[in-house]
A and B are shown apart, each in its own frame.
Chain A
Amino acid sequence: AQTVTQSQPEMSVQEAETVTLSCTYDTSESNYYLFWYKQPPSRQMILVIRQEAYKQQNATENRFSVNFQKAAKSFSLKISDSQLGDTAMYFCASLTYSGNTPLVFGKGTRLSVIA
């Protein structure tokens, strides 16, 4: 069974600074995806970034990038130039390739961006 662990329940960062959210996972599968989702106060889950495990290159989406360490089973999210709108709950999740399978979520990290 897959597990996803987020060890930081809460974090804060000053506006315009950089913050890194940690995530580790455990899986016996060789092919899988990893995701970061953001849930702002509106509670809408928003896809932030997606990484395919077979790709060595770290995914980036504008100010968001990941540090994917496959051997260490680590998948951290870096947010650069933090903005007030980045304040949200961030969930790390994994998914096997086989399709029709559910996401496995971590417990989340609550990020507060301070002006």
Chain B
Amino acid sequence: GAVVSQHPSRVICKSGTSVKIECRSLDFQATTMFWYRQFPKKSLMLMATSNEGSKATYEQGVEKDKFLINHASLTLSTLTVTSAHPEDSSFYICSAEQGFTDTQYFGPGTRLTVL
């Protein structure tokens, strides 16, 4: 149990385009999901907290207009990188909080490359 999927696993796009990443909790409902960015050989950097049915809470320094987050249901949150630039190239990971255990389970991550 407690499986989180993330799609796509890898995406390459041209500068200026938008990319949507989906995060799904497959066998539990998640009121709260989190989006992280991870640079090579570094720890996870929290970007935003996504709450079902309400606006996401962004960490300081994260542009909310650039990284659009939608948490439309208890099993799905999406991160859209708008007008992507090469500096947005990174590994993006989501997690979903299993409420009754207060434990976060992670998706397998998405490698974004912006040319």
Residues of A near any B CB (own CB < 8 A): 33, 35, 37, 42-47, 50, 91, 95, 97, 99-100, 102-103, 105-108, 110
Contacts and interface: CB of A to CB of B under 8 A. Distances in A.
Q: Is the interface of B mostly helix, strand, loop or mixed?
A: strand
B13 to A, nearest CB: 20
A92 B108 CA distance: 18
A105 B43 contact: yes
Given A44-B108, A44-B109, A108-B43, A97 B91 contact: no
Contacts of A102: 34, 46, 49
Given A100-B51, A107-B43, A45 B102 contact: no
Nearest to A35: B103
Interface in B70-115: 91, 93, 95, 97, 99, 101-106, 108-109
Interface residues of B, number: 25
B44 interface: yes
A44 B95 CA distance: 11
A40 B32 CA distance: 25
Nearest to B2: A47
Interface in B46-83: 46, 49, 51
Q: Is the interface of A mostly helix, strand, loop or mixed?
A: loop
A100 B50 CA distance: 9
B102 A33 contact: yes
Given A44-B108, A102-B34, A50 B43 contact: no
Interface string B21-51: 0000000000110100010011110100101
Contacts of B97: 99-100
Most chain A C-beta atoms within 10 Å of own C-beta, residue among B2, B42, B106, B109:
B106
Nearest to A32: B102
Contacts of B95: 45, 103
Given A100-B32, A105-B44, A43 B102 contact: no
